Structure 1
Amino acid sequence: MATKVQDLILINITTVLLGCSGLFAQLIPLPAPVIICGRLIIAGVCLMLPLLFMKSVTWITAKADLNKIMIAGILIALSWILFYAAIQMSSVSIGIISLYTYPCFSSIIEPFWYRQPIKKRHIFAALAVILGVFILSSHHIEGGDVMWGLVLGVASAILFTIRNLIVKPLTLAYSSQVLMGYQCVIGAFFCLPFFAKPLLLITGNTLALLLLSGIVFTALSHTLFVKSMERLSVTTVGIIASFQIIYAVILGIVFLGEEISKAVFLGGGIVLIAVVIENIFVSQEKNKAN
């Protein structure tokens, strides 16, 4: 019982850390692509360095797998850039809610990806996302652009979904730390030719925030998230992880003074409910398959 409680505390701490990630789009005074480039470099180093000292690591050497992980690395870089751009254009709440439509997009895209029949719940997920985003579009932010924030956030969610579908088969052969490390390094190399110069000029508080974002809120949070999945069920992890939406909105209010309107409350609530329901269905299907 004590171990399970510790695991639940761990996954909740991890979810808070992941929810904090979006704050850095507003806290770091740099364009979204530059922040993400730095974040990928730092996280890539933190994830890959420990692996170099481990003897039992399975590295990615097969050409087909390398091609997949290269595409996934580029997609994760683009997805994170769009996510941070969405927050900078609008708010943390708009950015995180629109990004977290990705489980619903997964249920919509996956049947086409694997040529499987579409289920009723896939239609429900699509309608829920459309309704939630439509309600969110009525939210007003002084000096911000909610519509563009939603467009960029949803685009980020779609790219993130495709990246997940590409990586999914690789999880059978490689550890999640290896896969995430490769993606961060590849994403960093993809971004560097465009954003290396601004990174070299970063000093002081900006550098400290960037290091914090890459080490604690990317590399560490990912490692803890994987650790929490060792003993907890997929359903528990999926549902608690969905609460990133709630944590991120609260953190945006506390640290950035963001306002939450009825549109954010209702639209975000619809998306959150749809995500939780989708996680439950996916978990049940996995249990039946096993």
Structure 2
Amino acid sequence: FGKFLVLPALIIVLGRTVFGALALWGTLRLRRQSLRIATLRGRAMLLALGAILAIHWFTFFHSIQISTVAVGLLTYSTFPLFVTFLEPWLFGEKLRGIDVLTALFVLGGLVLIIPDFDFGNNITRGAFWGTLSGLSFAFLAMLNRKFVQSHPPLLMAFYQNGFAALVLLPFAFLIPWHLGERDLLLLIVLG
């Protein structure tokens, strides 16, 4: 979708999160599930997770737009490399040698797809943004892993998408964009 939509990455992500939140809200209402988050700490955590989700999707779509879909997907897929090193830090799990070895192979593969380390090169810039997408997704996955123990996953996804949209909304007024019918339809499907 990132290549089919002729919109800035920020607007794509805003649309994706708005329509995603609406779809999740409808699902929660159909299931008659409460939308209540009991604690202020829980609401603050969901706001932070929404901001991380916004960063993740923005960096992912930006990577695809400035390089290629393949570069965006391959570099986003570095998230397990980051998870390898975040798990011991966030959960106190033991860092295993096989995981470090696998991470080194992933890093080696990443180096192979970058033609040169010049930020004037679109592929290099796309790889940078895609790797940031992988890093932000790793943080999101690890924090969700902790939070899902006390909150229903659909409710978390609803609030994360909603908060991501709220975080992005002010920035939508700072950039030029036009939403055509085709783009609107694609955003609805993407959401």
Normalising by structure 2, report the TM-score.
Answer: 0.89
Deviations 1:175-202 (A, max 9, x none): 2211111100000000011115779841
Q: Match for residue 116 of structure 1? A: 93
1:28 aligns with 2:11: no
Q: Match for residue 50 of structure 2? A: 73
Following superposition, the deviation at residue 115 of structure 1 comes to 3.1
Deviations 1:235-289 (A, max 9, x none): xxxxxxxxxxxxxxxxxxxxxxxxxxxxxxxxxxxxxxxxxxxxxxxxxxxxxxx
Q: Match for residue 27 of structure 2? A: 50
* Structure 1 residues 200 and 30, CA gap change in structure 2 (3 angstroms): closer
Matched AA of 1:44 = A
Match of 2:188 among 211, 219, 224: 211
Query: Which aligned pairs between 1:183-222 and structure 2 lie closer than 5 A?
Result: 183-196=160-173, 201-214=178-191
SS in 2 for 1:172: coil
Mark the runs of 5 or more structure 2 residues left unpaired by the alignment. none
* Structure 1 residues 42 and 58, CA gap change in structure 2 (3 angstroms): closer
Q: Distance in 2 between matches of 1:27 and 1:127?
A: 34
1:129 aligns with 2:106: yes
Following superposition, the deviation at residue 104 of structure 1 comes to 2.5
Q: Does the CA contact (< 8 Å) of 2:6 and 2:183 recur in 1?
A: yes
Following superposition, the deviation at residue 152 of structure 1 comes to 0.5
* Structure 1 residues 138 and 212, CA gap change in structure 2 (3 angstroms): same
Query: Which aligned pairs between 1:1-290 and structure 2 lie closer than 5 A?
Result: 24-57=1-34, 59-138=36-115, 145-196=122-173, 201-214=178-191
Q: Distance in 1 between matches of 2:92 and 2:151?
A: 25
SS in 2 for 1:177: helix
Q: Distance in 2 between matches of 1:124 and 1:66?
A: 38
* Structure 1 residues 90 and 66, CA gap change in structure 2 (3 angstroms): same
SS in 1 for 2:151: coil
Q: Distance in 1 between matches of 2:170 and 2:13?
A: 13
Following superposition, the deviation at residue 57 of structure 1 comes to 3.6
Q: Distance in 1 between matches of 2:100 and 2:142?
A: 19
Normalising by structure 1, report the TM-score.
Answer: 0.60
Following superposition, the deviation at residue 125 of structure 1 comes to 2.7
SS in 2 for 1:174: coil
- Identify the structure with the greater helix proportion: 1
SS in 2 for 1:110: helix
SS in 2 for 1:28: coil
Q: Distance in 2 between matches of 1:56 and 1:183?
A: 16
Mean CA deviation greater in 204-213 or 178-187: 204-213
Give % identity.
22
Q: Does the CA contact (< 8 Å) of 2:7 and 2:178 recur in 1?
A: no
Q: Distance in 2 between matches of 1:109 and 1:134?
A: 21
Q: Does the CA contact (< 8 Å) of 1:108 and 1:126 recur in 2?
A: no
Equivalenced residues, count: 188
Q: Match for residue 267 of structure 1? A: none
Q: Match for residue 226 of structure 1? A: none
Matched AA of 1:175 = P
* Structure 1 residues 210 and 199, CA gap change in structure 2 (3 angstroms): farther
Matched AA of 1:67 = A
Mark the runs of 5 or more structure 1 residues left unpaired by the alignment. 1-23, 215-290
